[in-house]
Amino acid sequence: MKVGVFDHLDRNDRPLHAFYEERLKIVEAYDRGGFYAYHTAEHHATPLGLAASPSVFLAAVAQRTQRLRFGPLVYTLPLHHPLRVVEEICMLDQLSGGRFELGVGRGISPIETAYYGVKPDDRQKMYLEALQILRQALTERTLTFHGEFYRYTDVPMELEPFQKPHPPFWAGAGTPDGAEAAGSNGFHLVANALTSQIRTMTDRYRAAFKAAHTPMLGLARFVIMGDTDAEALTIARRAYPLWHRHFHHLFHMHGTSPAGGERPPHFDQIKDGGRGIAGSPATVTRMIKAQMEEAGTNYFVAQFAFGDLTLAEVLRTVDLFTREVMPALNDA
């Protein structure tokens, strides 16, 4: 079973230059540990995500790793000029020798896209047009497209991806309809919801999936580890509230709530709901196996770095996970 990593790159108390360097040190640990892929969020004007330009940060990831695959989960396509993002995709795939994973979407936050002048009701239409453009531009030598938002005629495609016909597409889904759309497109999928809800998503996904390749269906969870359950829970309970505050930051500023409602404010509440996993290696292994079976997923995606976790705490979890949990998951 493959294991990957998701990262919001949410703000902590470190200066920005130190924050980025510490995150890259953590990414190097993922590379050494044999994780499959590193997936990063794209957010704007919020402490929830400091990789506002995913391609810039991922270019550094490409140079600091050897085997780890990586990519955005997702590029918020309505905020990117399609021609520019195609060129960035090709460059990142070439710079990494074909390790790029291409997550795409309309963006989860209408507040963030509105800051860029994108009307919330236009996001889905812009995303679908941009997706058509990406598929054509990554596989053909010229681009011609005439839509409501984008128009191109005989644009030469000088750059091309390393992977053929293109890097694998990914989607993040929070609803069964989103999962079904990902399945019909043949995209790989990552979901972060209650385990029973994800099972509904994966069932809908599989019913819609018609592509020839084997899909990767990801279950994303916060993961904190220690030698004992008590040690891990103490750290998780301290670290999670800062992430929670940042997750709701823009919504509360605008007097609204995230899609899907407010997230629970305490780690024990998300642990009981399945979204948070904290404990010893034996406990973490048991919880992952049980959730993966219930959710109908085949790819586990851990969020190791969040809130006010220190570099040492994150690296400790990664070390325990790679030495004791990953072998047990592979045996299963």
User: How would you write the pLDDT of the chain (332 residues) with one tens digit per residue?
Assistant: 899 999 999 999 999 999 999 999 999 999 999 999 999 999 999 999 999 999 999 999 999 999 999 999 999 999 999 999 999 999 999 999 999 999 999 998 999 999 999 999 999 999 999 999 999 999 999 999 999 999 999 999 999 999 999 999 999 998 999 999 999 999 999 999 999 999 999 999 999 999 999 999 999 999 999 999 999 999 999 999 999 999 999 999 999 998 888 999 999 999 988 899 999 999 999 999 999 999 999 999 999 999 999 999 999 999 999 999 999 998 76
CB 5 within 8 A of CB 40: no
Query: Which residue type does 178 have?
Result: G
Nearest to 240 by CA among 303, 190, 193, 287: 303
Q: According to the model, what pLDDT value does residue 169 have?
A: 98
Distance CA 225, CA 326 (A): 13
The residue whose two tokens read 């916060």 is 222
Contact 4/299 with Cβ under 8 angstroms? yes
pLDDT of residue 260: 80
Cα–chain center distance at 269: 22
Do residues 325 and 288 touch, judged by C-beta distance below 8 A?
yes
Longest Cα separation, the chain: 62
Q: Kindly tell me the burial class for residue 4, based on how many C-beta atoms sit within 10 Å of its own C-beta (0-12, 13-18, 19 or more).
A: buried
**Quick one: pLDDT at residue 245?**
97
> What is the spatial distance between Cα 299 and Cα 221, in angstroms, rounded to a whole number?
11
Q: How many residues does the chain have?
A: 332
List the structure tokens of 229: 């359950």
Single-letter amino acid, residue 201:
M
pTM over 0.85: yes
pLDDT of residue 332: 64
Going by C-alpha positions, the residue among 287, 321, 290 that lies closest to residue 305 is 321
Residue type, 130: A
Q: Which two tokens stand for residue 38?
A: 């590193």
Both structure tokens of 117: 């002048």
* pLDDT attached to residue 1: 86
C-beta contacts of 313-320 below 8 A and 24+ residues apart = 313/224, 313/235, 313/239, 314/26, 315/25, 315/26, 315/29, 316/225, 316/226, 317/223, 317/224, 317/225, 318/26, 318/29, 318/30, 318/33, 319/29, 319/33, 320/225, 320/226, 320/281
Residue 92: its pLDDT value, please?
98
**What's the token pair of residue 123?**
């996001």
d(CA 191, CA 301): 9
Which pLDDT score, from 0 to 100, does residue 261 have?
Answer: 85
